């Protein structure tokens, strides 16, 4: 049976399926292939989705939910600053919910489910059959929680989500690049209404591999509309107040004119804007030229440059190694954007696909591959952010680095830092920051183990990401073979014991390979071992040293303590090394004593 392909977008959503061997997008009853991702919750009656919901915005802004995709899998604290026109609240765990007055509150996935239900119903009407399996696309930068939330939304809408696919990967499929060459490296430049996303992919013998991704969740055509409407407002008023300081109705009017003019200027070189009765009896007319538009938009478009260069760098590619640059997203229709991309990548961008429909079309094709109606294409994706756990000293210990091809499995062995410790707290983190506190916490689990001397515990921690980018964490006390499994919300747990054992033995070999970044913590741990050992040795055989040696050790010990207090990594490493040197004689004496004791 056919599998639906869905682009669940921030501003607009689309749906399609393979019909008689052709991937097609399905129109709703009004004949539109794209519906606004907007939901109106009236005081009484059922919620309304799409164009009709948007029309209610001017009347009851607090009851029209738009851009709900931005809230998916997020905590209230993360989105509070974003100024949504509707009120937000939080559940017990701090995850965001949309407050709907007398209607209580709904989670972002419950609201997204309403959009999905609407899409599903119109697809079923168009195809004349019920359909309950789907592929849904998400931005490449979506983290685990956001992907999970998207999957849950599908479930709530009565859909089995067979695969979550990164949007740029879907776009590359839609461009049909799997057919064009045996081997190609491509960039997907996706500038939509509210977000920007750049991805570098490699296609080899029909296999898609995402080499790197980057983006900005607050960069897109909306910013350009904002710049134009402020410019129009200044032309209208010529006073010191900004449009942002005016009432909502005026802002909406100017925004709508700004966007319409921007769209017209993708074809025309100038556009007359007419706003009769802007305010009471005031009229406004203004001619916006392409040149002025470009001046306003350029600083916004240029913000994509650094993100593109970073993605190329992460993919370890030079500009001239790219075979294709694909344009996706409505804003790439702007001539300025096309020219900018051509200049940046030093090649003509590929504009052969409909920029608003490419991602949905790719989802449909992926659905076709999964249902067996389209063959010979495999898809591999990558982790958009590094995954790891918090280790000693509050550092991020990366277990699966950013841009690892998924599905993936990796692990490390950890031990106890303190004698007689009975458990270890594993905090699962996602992000690129060095310190654990700056990264996203996906969950935590307390792992019990047999108490013993420092360094005696052997705790294997394994991360497994499935083909949807969903994470499962398994920890094992290898002494007792006791497993603890962390379910990152709704994740299916599927543990293969043999591979776990193999992972653990491999990880023993590499347990401390990845410690180089922990310079200070590592040095500090070393000092914390050295200082008490030196004290003990001095108490035991210190009297056998001459005064100079003893003074040297004392000075070196002080230097370590001072460097610890200064929290200076380089100084501490140096001081540790000097203390090591200064205690050579002491160590030799200890060894002699140990040998003498043993033979006595």
Residues annotated as catalytic (active site), given as ranges: 7, 69, 167, 190
Q: How far is the CB of 313 from ligand AMP (least distance, A)?
A: 26
Mark the segment that binds ligand AMP (CB under 6 A) among 119-127, 257-265, 295-303, 364-372: 257-265
Distances (CA, A) of 337 to 224, 299, 304, 307, 313: 12, 11, 10, 15, 22
The conformation of residue 491, written as its DSSP 8-state character, comes to P
Calpha distance 367→328 (Å, rounded): 20
| 3-class secondary-structure state, position 150 | helix
Residue 334 is a binding residue for ligand AMP (CB under 6 A): yes
| Sole binder of ligand AMP in the list 16, 47, 139, 329 (CB under 6 A) | 329
Q: Which of 154, 168, 193, 362 binds ligand AMP (CB under 6 A)?
A: 193
Place of tokens 């350029």: 298
Supply the minimum distance, in Å, between the C-beta of residue 143 and ligand AMP. Answer: 20
Residue closer to ligand AMP, measured from CB, 8 or 410? 8
197 binds ligand AMP (CB under 6 A): no
Q: Does 333 bind ligand AMP (CB under 6 A)?
A: yes
The yes or no reply on residue 266 touching ligand AMP (CB under 6 A) is yes
Per CB under 6 A, 16 contacts ligand AMP:
no
The β-bridge relationship of strands 471-477 and 459-465 is antiparallel
- Tell whether residue 330 is a contact of ligand AMP (CB under 6 A): yes
Nearest to 462 by CA among 516, 504, 525, 433: 504
Q: Does 5 bind ligand AMP (CB under 6 A)?
A: no
Half-sphere exposure of 588 (CA within 13 A, CB side): 8
Of 21-29, 173-181, 211-219, 328-336, the segment contacting ligand AMP by CB under 6 A is 328-336
For residues 328 and 173, the answer to whether their CB atoms sit within 8 Å is: no
- ω into 331 cis (within 30 of 0): no
Binding residue count for ligand AMP, defined by CB under 6 A? 18
Is residue 414 within 8 Å of residue 433, measured between CB atoms? no
Q: Cα separation of 58 and 63, whole Å?
A: 10
Nearer to ligand AMP, 12 or 507 (CB): 12
Q: How many CB atoms lie within 10 A of CB 542?
A: 16
Residues 575-594 that bind ligand AMP (CB under 6 A): none
Q: Indicate which single residue of 259, 472, 522, 552 sits in contact with ligand AMP (rule: CB under 6 A).
A: 259
Contact flag: residue 63 with ligand AMP (CB under 6 A): no
Alpha helices, DSSP H, located in 197-241: 221-237
Taking CB under 6 A as the binding criterion, the range among 109-117, 331-339, 513-521, 553-561 that sits at the site for ligand AMP is: 331-339
Q: Does 216 bind ligand AMP (CB under 6 A)?
A: no
Rank residues 194 and 368 by Cβ distance to ligand AMP and give the closer one.
194
Q: Read out DSSP for 92-152?
A: TTSBEEEE-GGG-EE-HHHHHHHHHHHHHHHHHHHHTS---EEEEEE-TT--HHHHHHHHH
Shortest Cβ 356–ligand AMP spacing (Å):
5
Interface with ligand AMP includes 464 (CB under 6 A)? no
CA distance 274 to 272: 6
Q: Residue 273 corresponds to which tokens in the numbers above? A: 């804007």
Ordered DSSP codes for 513-555: GGGTT-HHHHHHHHHHHHHHHHHHHHHHHGGGS-HHHHHHHHH
Instruction: Note whether 304 binds ligand AMP by CB under 6 A.
Output: no
Select from 76, 263, 377, 515 the one that contacts ligand AMP (CB under 6 A).
263
Give yes or no for a contact between 199 and 341, defined as CB atoms under 8 angstroms apart.
no
Write down the least CB distance from residue 299 to ligand AMP, Å: 16
> Where along the sequence are the contacts to ligand AMP (CB under 6 A)?
9, 11-12, 192-193, 220-222, 259, 262-263, 266, 329-331, 333-334, 356
């Amino acid at each position: 049976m056919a599998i639906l392909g869905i682009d669940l977008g921030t501003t607009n959503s689309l749906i399609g399926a393979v019909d008689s061997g052709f991937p097609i997008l399905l129109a709703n009853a009004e004949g539109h292939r794209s519906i606004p991702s907007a939901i109106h919750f009236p005081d009484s009656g059922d919620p309304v989705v799409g164009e009709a919901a948007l029309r209610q915005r001017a009347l009851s802004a607090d009851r029209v939910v738009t851009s709900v995709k931005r809230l998916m899998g997020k905590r209230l604290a993360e989105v509070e600053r974003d100024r949504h026109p509707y009120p937000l609240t939080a559940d017990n765990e701090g995850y965001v919910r949309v407050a709907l007055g007398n209607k209580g509150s709904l989670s972002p996935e419950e609201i997204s489910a309403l959009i999905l239900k609407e899409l599903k119903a119109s697809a079923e009407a168009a195809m004349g059959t019920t359909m309950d399996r789907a592929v849904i696309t998400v931005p490449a930068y979506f983290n685990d929680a956001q992907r999970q939330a998207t999957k849950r939304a599908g479930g709530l809408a009565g859909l089995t989500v067979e695969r979550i696919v990164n949007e740029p990967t879907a776009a590359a499929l839609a461009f049909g690049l799997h057919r064009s060459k045996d081997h190609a490296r491509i960039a997907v430049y996706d500038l939509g209404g509210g977000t920007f996303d750049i991805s570098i992919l490699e296609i080899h013998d029909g296999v898609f591999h995402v080499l790197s991704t980057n983006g900005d969740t607050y960069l897109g055509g909306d910013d350009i509309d904002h710049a134009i409407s402020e410019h129009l407002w200044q032309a209208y008023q010529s006073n010191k107040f900004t449009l942002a300081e005016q009432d909502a109705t005026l802002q909406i009017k100017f925004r709508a004119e700004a966007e319409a003019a921007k769209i017209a200027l993708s074809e025309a070189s100038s556009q007359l804007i007419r706003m009769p009765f802007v305010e009471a009896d005031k009229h406004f007319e203004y001619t916006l030229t392409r040149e002025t538009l470009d001046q306003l938009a350029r600083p916004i478009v240029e913000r994509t440059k650094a993100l593109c260069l970073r993605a190329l760098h992460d993919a370890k590619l030079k500009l001239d190694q790219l075979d294709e640059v694909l344009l996706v997203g409505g804003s790439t229709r702007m001539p300025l954007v096309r020219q900018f991309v051509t200049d940046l990548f030093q090649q003509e961008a590929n504009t052969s696909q409909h920029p608003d429909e490419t991602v949905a079309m790719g989802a449909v094709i992926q659905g076709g591959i999964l249902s067996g109606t389209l063959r010979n294409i495999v898809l591999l994706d990558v982790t958009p952010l590094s995954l790891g756990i918090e280790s000693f000293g509050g550092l991020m210990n990366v277990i699966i680095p950013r841009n690892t091809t998924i599905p993936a499995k990796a692990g490390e062995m950890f031990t106890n830092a303190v004698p007689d410790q009975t458990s270890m707290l594993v905090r699962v983190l996602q992000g690129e920051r060095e310190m654990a506190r700056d990264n996203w916490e996906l969950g935590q689990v307390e792992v019990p183990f047999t108490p013993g001397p420092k360094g005696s515990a052997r705790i294997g921690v394994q991360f497994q990401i499935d083909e949807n980018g969903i994470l499962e964490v398994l920890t094992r006390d290898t002494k007792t073979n006791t497993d603890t499994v962390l379910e990152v919300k709704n994740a299916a747990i599927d543990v293969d014991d043999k591979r776990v054992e193999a992972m653990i033995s491999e990880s023993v070999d590499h347990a401390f390979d990845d410690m180089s970044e922990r310079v200070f913590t590592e040095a500090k741990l070393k000092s914390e071992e050295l200082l008490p050992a030196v004290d003990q040795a001095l108490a035991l055989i210190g009297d056998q040293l001459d005064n100079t040696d003893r003074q040297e050790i004392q000075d070196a010990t002080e230097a370590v303590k001072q460097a610890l207090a200064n929290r200076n990594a380089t100084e501490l490493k140096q001081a540790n090394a000097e203390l090591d040197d200064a205690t050579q004689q002491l160590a030799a004496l200890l060894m002699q004593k140990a040998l003498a004791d043993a033979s006595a």
